[in-house]
Amino acid sequence: MIEVPASLFYVAIAIVFILGFIWEIITVIKYCQESNFIKKIIKELERDTYVERKWINEHLETENNYHRNPIKTNDKYILKQYPDIFHQSTRSNLRFISTICTSIGVLGTFYGIQSGIADIPLGRSGIADISLDSLNQTDALMKGVGTLLAGMQTAFSTSLVGLGVGSVFTIILFFTDFIR
């Protein structure tokens, strides 16, 4: 059996969490910048000061399409195309990160249980053969139980870390969605 250190599962969970967190922060910053830019454009339109001519010409109908004033109908502007921010979801696309962290933790659980059970000596029938040398068999079983307990420690700790980190990421998504 290939021996995989338990820390590999912790590192995998940490990498997924950190990459997801960084990406989420970057997308929130971009969203806020675009949102602030749109607010700036709206203020310019309200004051009839058109500083962002390129954006206005690209998104609003203008007179002759040459750096003229945007056309108003019933105090509303006519859009040529929606700004990109309106095509974006206000919810994060990283909702799967919590599931991945939990899945890695559960994978560590199964690995820990499997590695713990692997060293328990079983007889031909699948049950410990006590009729052989009882002392040697008892020592082997005790060693196997120690290995099983170590595997169970890996099993439960990776599950706890995976669930905990997944829960923390879900809370982060709640706040970033609120910001958006």
In tens, the pLDDT along 113-123 reads 887 777 676 65
SS3 call for 11: helix
pLDDT tens digit string along 50-70?
A: 667 777 777 777 776 566 677
pTM of the prediction?
A: 0.68
SS3 call for 67: coil
- Phi and psi for 90 in degrees, rounded to 5? -85, -5
